[in-house]
Amino acid sequence: MKKIEAIIKPSKLKDVQKGLKEAGIPCITVLPVKGTGLQKTYSEHYRGTEQSMILQSRVLIMCVVSDNNMEKCIDVILDNASDGETGDGKIFIYDVAEAIRIRTKTRGKEAIQ
C-alpha cells in the first residue's frame, strides 16, 4: 500500500476528486494547508514581505491506495491539477505498513477497496 499526498491549487480540487472517483479511488482526505515552493524571485516584495516568505493557500489531498493503483492515482492528479504554471503543486509517495477498517476489523487491501 502507498500513501499519496498531493498539494494542489484549491481551484483544482473538484476536478481531481472527480477524476479519482472515476478511476475507482473514492476514498480521500482533504486538508486546507499553506505553503511555499521553490520561488526564484527572492528580491520581490509585496506589502513589505519577501515573496519567498509569503505562504500560498493550497489543498492537501491524501489517499491510501494499493500498489496496483498508485500509478493510476498519480496520472489522475497530473492530468487534473495542472495549469502548466509555477505553483501547480507536488506529489509525495510513502509506504504504508497497514490499514484497518474499524467497523469490520479487516486489514490491508480489503480495508481500502
Ligand X SMILES: Nc1ncnc2c1ncn2[C@@H]1O[C@H](COP(=O)(O)OP(=O)(O)OP(=O)(O)O)[C@@H](O)[C@H]1O
Binding site for Mg ion (CB under 5 A): 37, 86-87
Q: Does 102 bind ligand X (CB under 6 A)?
A: no
The contacts of residue 71 (CB under 8 Å, 6+ apart) are none
- In the chain, the N- to C-terminal Cα span, in Å, equals 11
- Which 5-24 positions form the footprint of ligand X (CB under 6 A)? 7
Is the distance from CB of 25 to CB of 76 less than 8 angstroms? yes
- Which 75-94 positions form the footprint of ligand X (CB under 6 A)? 86-90
Cell numbers standing for residue 71? 500509478
> Of the two residues 2 and 9, which places its CB atom closer to ligand X in the complex?
9
State how far the Cα of 72 lies from the Cα of 64, in Å rounded to an integer: 12
Q: Does 97 bind ligand X (CB under 6 A)?
A: no
Backbone phi, then psi, for 17, in 5-degree steps? -60, -45
Binding-site partner at residue 56 among ligand X, Mg ion, none, CB < 5 to 8 Å by type? ligand X
Is the distance from CB of 60 to CB of 1 less than 8 angstroms? no
Site string (34-73) toward ligand X, x via CB under 6 A:
-xxxx-----------------x-x---------------
Under the rule (CB under 6 A), what is the footprint of ligand X? 7, 33, 35-38, 56, 58, 86-90
